[in-house]
Amino acid sequence: MDFEKLVPVMRQLAIEAGEKILEIYNSDDFEVKSKSDDSPVTIADEAADALISAGLRAAFPDVPLITEEQSASHDLKATTFLIVDPLDGTKEFIKRRGDFTVNIAYVENGVPIRGVVFAPAKDRLFITDATGQSYEETGSFDPAVPGDMTKISVSEPDNGALMIVASKSHRDQATEDYINKYSVKDSKSAGSSLKFCLVATGEADLYPRVGRTMEWDTAAGHAVLSGAGGHVVRFDDHSPLVYGKEDYANPFFIAYAPGVELKKP
């Protein structure tokens, strides 16, 4: 993969999709439908998916592509691929809470190594550069012209006073029980893949996910966190979280800054 080509394409498509999503988000009303698994989907999901898919297929026709909205038609047996969640945090979008993102990632040999996470309603964009280092971009988010790039890195955590981030829509008793194993200074909630990015910037030390996620939910945030020096491991045995699983479903996992002393489940 030519990363000097890939990164600008991912960035441009994420911003263009974010603009389209915001048009619908800021409209008076939009239709909400249910998919076969009863999860919600809107015209924003579908429009962003069409835009990103067309752009990636045009630029990288030989690289397998997985997207959430087309996953039912995928029969992928690959460990290297592009993976997209065109609107991660649909529930946050529907409730107009702003914590939704556009996620685009490149997975190589089961590991997400490049990614972009764009939160258009929050004016936050996180991206890995061609070398794999992660940055936060600020500015006008012009699809054609990169703004100011600030290198990001994980915290040096104090295990006696950890900063925790957890899901806004899926924070349950199992999550609370696990968080209570740690000495916590502060705990915050966030939606979508922003939780990975808060660990990547050092705004949080630990993000445990004791609940269902899919690979397209996590790959871009995982890549951003890795590029900032963080790790993502399975909840059960603390082995690395890998991608290219047959059904795209993730086990429970923990995203963290390396200094965190992980607790057993």
Q: Is 217 annotated as a binding residue?
A: yes
Beta strands in the chain (DSSP E): 32-34, 40-42, 65-67, 81-88, 101-108, 111-119, 124-128, 134-138, 148-151, 162-167, 184-190, 206-209, 213-214, 231-234, 249-250, 253-256
Antiparallel, parallel or unpaired: β 65-67 and 81-88: parallel
Q: Is 203 annotated as a binding residue?
A: no
How wide is the angle at C-alpha 250 spanned by C-alphas 89 and 199, nearest 5°? 60
Q: Is 37 annotated as a binding residue?
A: no
Q: Is 247 annotated as a binding residue?
A: no
Give how far Cα 64 sits from Cα of 74, 77, 110, 189, 248, Å: 10, 10, 13, 34, 14
Element (H, E) at 21: helix 3-25
Q: Is 16 annotated as a binding residue?
A: no
d(CA 261, CA 160): 10
Q: Is 55 annotated as a binding residue?
A: no
Binding site residue list: 68, 85, 87-90, 217
Binding site residue list for Mg(2+): 68, 85, 87-88, 217
Binding site residue list for substrate: 68, 87-90, 217
